[in-house]
Amino acid sequence: MKKDYKTLSFFQRGRRRQAVLCSLIEPRTPKEVAIACKISISNVSNAIAELVKEGYVEVINPEAHTYKYYDLTAKGKKTLKLLNAQKEQV
């Protein structure tokens, strides 16, 4: 797999983004992600907003006001594989 240094840099500059991305192996709410990552819900919400904006994560049920579920997009799944490959090399 060819390294995408722009993507690697984006996630290395924001460790919470990487933690949130890695926790979304299945659809989850921000509260579930916060518990899994052991970071605050506000940090999770900010990271999710950044990941949605960049196209790594999507809302599964956008019509819901509460309990919105988020999941990885195809780009997010590809990035997760890239990050895991990077961890194995280190």
DSSP string over the chain: ----HHHHHHHHH-HHHHHHHHH-SS-B-HHHHHHHHTS-HHHHHHHHHHHHHHTSEEES-TT-SSS--EEE-HHHHHHHHHHHHHHHH-
Residue with tokens 């924001």: 14
Record the pTM: 0.89
Q: In the CATH scheme, what architecture does the domain 5-81 have?
A: Orthogonal Bundle (1.10)
Going from the first residue of the chain to its last (90 residues), give the mean pLDDT of each consecutive group of 10, the final group possibly shorter.
80 92 95 96 96 96 93 95 80
Q: For residue 3, what pLDDT is reported?
A: 74
Domain boundaries, the chain: 5-81
